[in-house]
Structure 1
Amino acid sequence: MSNDYLTPTDRQRQTFREDLLDWYDEHKRSMPWRETNDPYRIWVSEIMLQQTRVDTVRDYYPRFLEAFPTVEALAEAERDDVLTYWEGLGFYARARHLHEAAQTVVAEHNGTVPDSMDPIRDLKGVGPYTAAAVLSIAYQKPHAVLDGNVTRVLSRVFALEEDATTTSAQNALRALANDLLETARPGDFNQALMELGALVCTPSTPLCDRCPLQNTCRAHEAGTEEDYPITPESEPVPHHDIAVGLVFDGDQILIQRRPDEGLLGGLWEFPGGKQEDDETIEEACRREVREELGIDVAIDDHFYTLSHAYSHFKITLHAFRCHIDQGTPEAREEQPFQWVHVSELDEYAFPRANRRLIEELERRQTEPSLFD
């Protein structure tokens, strides 16, 4: 596509920068990560903020940094401890990669987060957005960010007539963001664009009357704000029924750790998995436990059913109290198991859906009649 209409004039650039930064200086939200110049703490915040609501990160950020106040502390920590403090934030690969990257920073950069593009991009889990954000905010380097909020703002202001998710559109928008960037205040400029997208230029019902860019926004002029950015139609959200075995041996319960790679990697869980088309949910429970641990279990009773939504699919989780009928548990490669007391489960990092089962287990322990 021709990028001519995405090339602002000198006056447009200056007006855009001034109006945006004046608005930001007056309306920016107070955030704990905006009160530090420490590149490590800014980096942690940017990793946490990926695909996670600001209000959620507000709660996790201080707790995480209290546990791991420096990059050295994070690098020296046990991975299970890192995952435990991350539990509930989701997208757990971020925590594993952050932990690994901290070890690289200590080993190869003397404990200092890199201040240039190539070295910081070499860190595990650091992509173009995170690199630009950390470099601009922590080091005032002139690198523009491009996330969902920035894409939406620029697509509307310049009426981008292309699917904004395509590589060509993303490249054009990134070039535009760098063209508009206020190099004297790159960190503030980037945060201002993201803040505008979060507070004013929202996905639906944008607050155009409060927008500092309304006089230069082509979509607003045409009354077509909600037509941008142009994106493909969403696919239906898949749903899966999941069977889980709460396998007891006396007063201990069996848990296993998920493989490092993949969804919820490195977290502990109760054994189980997806129901197949040709089986009952109880049969799915027995099959999954057999496949994962090499044991046959007998189901004692249905324990609990809950629903949970992940970013790209939803589940209904069916948990059953079980005991071993035949065999001895065997750990699959990279999936160790443990027998633990219910009171010890809080010492392990679990996915949120499993955590809800743990809360119910703990509740019923205090009310034994609920197990009857």
Structure 2
Amino acid sequence: MKKTFEDSSKLPKDFEWSSTEIQQFQKDFLMWYQQEKRNLPWRINTDPYRVWISEIMLQQTRVDTVIDYYYRFMEKFPTIQALAEADQAELLKTWEGLGYYSRARNLQSAAQQIMAEFAGEMPQTAAEIVTLKGIGPYTTGAIASIAFNLPEPAIDGNVMRVVSRLFCLSEDISKPSSRKVFDEKMRLIISYEAPGDFNQALMDLGSAICTPKKPDCQSCPIQKYCRAYATQQQENFPVKSKKIKPKDVFLVAGIIENQAGEYLLAQRPAEGLIANMWTFPMIEVSQEFFKELQEKWQGPKANDKQLTLDLVAEESPAIFSNLPVVWQKRHFSEVTHVYSHLKWHVLPFYGRALKNFPMQGNEMWVNQEAFPDFVFPKVQHKLIESWKKS
């Protein structure tokens, strides 16, 4: 039997709403959602595989960006089995540009886990769903509520913002310990009749109306229930401590071309950031050495006619002195890329190989036309663009 709050005695004594108010709130909110919900491809049905893939893609990524990737992904890997058996290089190539590539690897690991432990079918309880690789409490709640109609909260940043304003919660949303408070509140107000729609209504509201800055309270369907609006404190919620600044990492990249017009690519290690992906060779250096290279090797910019004249064999950036390469006298513009906890500063240099030289096991000469066959991280695309502009 589904749980409801028809009996107010079941509610916590300090809870602000009665069971009647909760029911009216749910009715108003779900009616708004049915009228205003976004037309998104993963909402065509509640197939758990479609829900799962879309929720993982939407992590740290805008909805507009995800749509095309979602279509391509579902075309290539239409089932859990297809995903489990996919070639990882093809999987990462399909994911290329979405970033946070560990999401794609975890998807495949979880698909293999489902094949081995759940007979190829998505598990149907929250306790089992959360055991899958790469699936945390939010994704568990989304799959459980949308695909299986279970009253499980799906608490992400949008939802925490809405709920914090709804009840003027002072808990810092950047602290993991605060999640328990939001979970408790959500379990008191979530619809047991349509939990999936309720969670998606919160997501849509937080995305389009209850925004971080200048929320559109006049368009809000639950304005009359919101304590922050009633006390004009919308801008004070949610409470969030300042984000830790990403650590700066300084690297030098070599865009090395051989006499056949091929470029040297290096594959990243199997573990760690952008694992198994391909880039121009890069090496980490100190900030001091990075600045020294910036200042010493910022010679006059070359155009096509001057390019050969702008190469010199007698000198080279010290970092590349062990290679039989003729280096351009200058570096390109600094390329930067921010990961969740790191900010990469990359100084790229162009050089031509004078002769063949021993390569590492993870290196390969590749013709430019074959670049689309390799899985490149975003930073590699930025390096290529910098090189082309130069």
**TM-score of the superposed pair, with normalisation by structure 1:** 0.87
Distance 1:16 1:242, change over 3 A: farther
Distance 1:12 1:257, change over 3 A: farther
1:139 equivalent in structure 2: 148
- Measured after TM superposition, the shift of residue 255 of structure 1 is 1.3
Residue identity over aligned pairs, in percent, reads 38
- Alignment partner of 1:339 is 2:368: no
Q: Aligned to 1:242, what secondary structure does the other structure show?
A: strand
Segment of structure 1 superposing worse, 69-78 or 277-286: 277-286
Q: Aligned to 1:11, what secondary structure does the other structure show?
A: helix
Instruction: Work out the CA distance in 2 between the residues paired with 1:299 and 1:97.
Output: 42
8 Å contact kept, 1:144–1:181 = yes
- Measured after TM superposition, the shift of residue 12 of structure 1 is 2.9
2:287 to 265, 277, 286: 277
1:317 equivalent in structure 2: 346
Instruction: Work out the CA distance in 2 between the residues paired with 1:6 and 1:286.
Output: 67
Instruction: Work out the CA distance in 2 between the residues paired with 1:214 and 1:256.
Output: 55
8 Å contact kept, 1:7–1:176 = no
1:176 to 185, 191, 195: 185
For residues 29-86 of structure 1, give each alpha carbon's deviation from its aligned partner in whole angstroms, at most 9, with x where no partner exists: 1000000222111110010001111111012100111111111111111111110010
Q: Read off the aligned partner of 1:345 and give its amino acid letter.
A: F
1:117 equivalent in structure 2: 126
Pairwise CA RMSD of aligned residues?
A: 2.7
- Alignment partner of 1:35 is 2:61: no
2:270 to 260, 272, 290: 260
- Measured after TM superposition, the shift of residue 266 of structure 1 is 2.5
Unaligned runs of 5+ in 1: 365-369
- Alignment partner of 1:300 is 2:312: no
8 Å contact kept, 1:163–1:169 = yes
Q: Read off the aligned partner of 1:218 and give its amino acid letter.
A: R
- Alignment partner of 1:97 is 2:106: yes
Distance 1:93 1:39, change over 3 A: same
- Alignment partner of 1:356 is 2:355: no
Bigger Rg over Cα: 2
Instruction: Work out the CA distance in 2 between the residues paired with 1:151 and 1:5.
Output: 20
Distance 1:7 1:103, change over 3 A: farther
- Alignment partner of 1:228 is 2:237: yes
Distance 1:23 1:359, change over 3 A: same
- Alignment partner of 1:82 is 2:91: yes
For residues 167-192 of structure 1, give each alpha carbon's deviation from its aligned partner in whole angstroms, at most 9, with x where no partner exists: 33210101111221101111101100
Distance 1:288 1:138, change over 3 A: farther
Instruction: Work out the CA distance in 2 between the residues paired with 1:142 and 1:234.
Output: 32
- Measured after TM superposition, the shift of residue 245 of structure 1 is 0.9
1:330 equivalent in structure 2: 360
Instruction: Work out the CA distance in 2 between the residues paired with 1:173 and 1:69.
Output: 35
Distance 1:264 1:341, change over 3 A: same
8 Å contact kept, 2:250–2:287 = no
Unaligned runs of 5+ in 2: 1-11, 298-315
- Measured after TM superposition, the shift of residue 136 of structure 1 is 1.0
Counting matched residue pairs gives 354
Instruction: Work out the CA distance in 1 between the residues paired with 2:164 and 2:133.
Output: 30
Q: Aligned to 1:296, what secondary structure does the other structure show?
A: coil
Instruction: Work out the CA distance in 2 between the residues paired with 1:304 and 1:246.
Output: 10
Q: Read off the aligned partner of 2:351 and give its amino acid letter.
A: C
2:60 equivalent in structure 1: 51
Q: Aligned to 1:203, what secondary structure does the other structure show?
A: coil
8 Å contact kept, 2:245–2:341 = no
- Measured after TM superposition, the shift of residue 110 of structure 1 is 2.0
